[in-house]
């Protein structure tokens, strides 16, 4: 792989992660229009991802693998991604945002530790240091010690989400050569979408305002489908531990959106944490 291709892959991951950090804009807009439910938001997002990715995959007309192992991987990816999404939203519902996001972003630590064993990737000191620096910055940025005390249940949900997200990265890397980015996203969505639909409470669709649905569809298209395709494209050109560290850009952007759009104060400690997030991501991205 050329240095240019490697750089483009890392920039693609940063762009996707930055886009994900703006999800709050679409969610807040949808919630202003009327009652929404986390499970519905998950189903809409995964459904749009599946439909858009399937359309792209059909245009590509790429051959599908005939071996059983890649299809087992797709099935596992769909299951783990559904659990990842549900646990992440459940963490938001049962604990503070800071604790939920902080525990979810244990994923890069899991990936950095597991990549040499699962994928045979070389363990690099730069990647490990970058990951730890970014995570330390994330702790300062989110300041979980300022959040109200909550049960360990929410933290457990966030940690489970992180573990599933790490497994998703491993599966993506393992079977990336067997599928195009679009077909992998489409087929895994065929598994994940109906699983997520099982968590929607009875009657929740009936009270969902049309305006809320439009905001959810827009966010799912831009941040779910398009950003997801960009992320998978970049992941194929980037070591998994580096890719996981670069995703720390997502919570950084989310906090900045909160400060600039919704007037949520960051403070000097939070600003220092944001700089550490960028420093760690830069250290992992630049060879």
Q: Which region, left, alpha or beta, applies to residue 267 given φ > 0 means left and ψ of -120 to 50 means alpha?
A: left
What is residue 178's three-state secondary structure? coil
The number of folded domains in the chain is 1
Question: Taking 80 as the threshold, does the pLDDT of residue 246 lie above it?
Answer: yes
Residue 219 structure tokens:
């966010």
Question: Taking 80 as the threshold, does the pLDDT of residue 143 lie above it?
Answer: no
Question: Taking 80 as the threshold, does the pLDDT of residue 271 lie above it?
Answer: no
Give the residue carrying structure tokens 């709050």.
24
| CB proximity list for 72: less than 8 A, separation 6 or greater | none
Question: Taking 70 as the threshold, does the pLDDT of residue 97 lie above it?
Answer: no
**Exposed/middle/buried for 158, CB within 10 Å: 0-12, 13-18, 19+?**
buried
214 pLDDT tier (thresholds 50, 70, 90): very high
Tell me, what's the pLDDT at 78? 94
Contact assessment for residue 169 and residue 246, using Cβ atoms and an 8 Å cutoff: no
Question: Taking 60 as the threshold, does the pLDDT of residue 287 lie above it?
Answer: no
Percent of the chain scored above 90 by pLDDT?
A: 30
Instruction: Identify the CA nearest to 181 among candidates 221, 237, 236.
Output: 236
* Cβ-based neighbour number of residue 3 at 10 Å: 8
Tell me, what's the pLDDT at 176? 76
What is residue 148's three-state secondary structure? coil
Per the document, the length of the chain is 287
Tell me, what's the pLDDT at 54? 94
CA 106 to chain centre: 12
* Cβ-based neighbour number of residue 221 at 10 Å: 16
Residue 83 structure tokens:
């659990």
Percent of the chain scored above 70 by pLDDT?
A: 93
What is residue 143's three-state secondary structure? coil
Contact assessment for residue 94 and residue 153, using Cβ atoms and an 8 Å cutoff: yes
113 or 79, greater pLDDT: 79
Give the residue carrying structure tokens 């050569």.
177
DSSP secondary-structure letter at 286?
-
40 or 154, greater pLDDT: 40
Instruction: Identify the CA nearest to 144 among candidates 104, 112, 175.
Output: 104
Cα torsion through 99, 104, 106, 112, rounded to 10 = -160
| Domain that residue 240 falls in | 3-285
Tell me, what's the pLDDT at 262? 78
* Cβ-based neighbour number of residue 280 at 10 Å: 25
Contact assessment for residue 222 and residue 19, using Cβ atoms and an 8 Å cutoff: yes
Q: Give, rounded to a whole angstrom, the gap between the first and last alpha carbons of the chain.
A: 14
Give the residue carrying structure tokens 């000191």.
125
Residue 239 structure tokens:
């070591």
Give the residue carrying structure tokens 């009875």.
202
Tell me, what's the pLDDT at 193? 96
DSSP secondary-structure letter at 262?
S
Contact assessment for residue 154 and residue 102, using Cβ atoms and an 8 Å cutoff: no
Instruction: Identify the CA nearest to 285 among candidates 127, 63, 76, 128.
Output: 127
285 pLDDT tier (thresholds 50, 70, 90): low
């Amino acid at each position: 792989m050329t240095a240019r291709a490697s750089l483009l892959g890392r920039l693609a991951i940063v762009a996707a992660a930055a886009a994900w950090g703006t999800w709050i804009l679409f969610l807040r807009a949808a919630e202003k229009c009327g009652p929404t439910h986390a499970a519905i938001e998950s189903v809409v997002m995964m459904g749009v991802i599946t439909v858009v990715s399937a359309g792209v995959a059909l245009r590509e007309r790429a051959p599908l693998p005939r071996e059983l192992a890649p299809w087992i991987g797709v099935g596992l990816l769909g299951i783990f991604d559904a659990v990842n999404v549900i646990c992440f939203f459940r963490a938001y519902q049962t604990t503070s945002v800071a604790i939920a996001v902080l525990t979810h972003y244990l994923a890069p630590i899991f990936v950095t530790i597991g990549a040499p064993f699962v994928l045979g990737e070389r363990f690099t000191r730069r990647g490990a240091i970058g990951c730890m620096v970014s995570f330390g910055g994330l702790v300062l940025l989110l300041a979980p010690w300022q959040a109200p005390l909550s049960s360990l249940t929410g933290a457990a949900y966030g940690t489970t989400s992180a573990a599933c997200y790490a497994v998703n990265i491993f599966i993506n890397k393992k079977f990336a050569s067997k599928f195009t980015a679009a077909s992998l996203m489409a087929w895994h969505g065929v598994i994940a979408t109906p699983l997520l639909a099982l968590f929607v409470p009875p009657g929740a669709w009936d009270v969902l305002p049309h305006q809320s649905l439009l905001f959810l569809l827009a966010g799912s298209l831009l941040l779910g489908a398009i950003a997801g395709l960009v992320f998978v494209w970049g992941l194929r050109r980037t070591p998994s531990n580096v890719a996981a560290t670069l995703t720390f850009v997502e919570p950084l952007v989310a906090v900045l959106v909160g400060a600039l759009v919704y007037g949520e104060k960051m403070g000097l400690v939070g600003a220092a944490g944001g700089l550490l997030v960028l420093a760690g991501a830069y250290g992992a991205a630049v060879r």
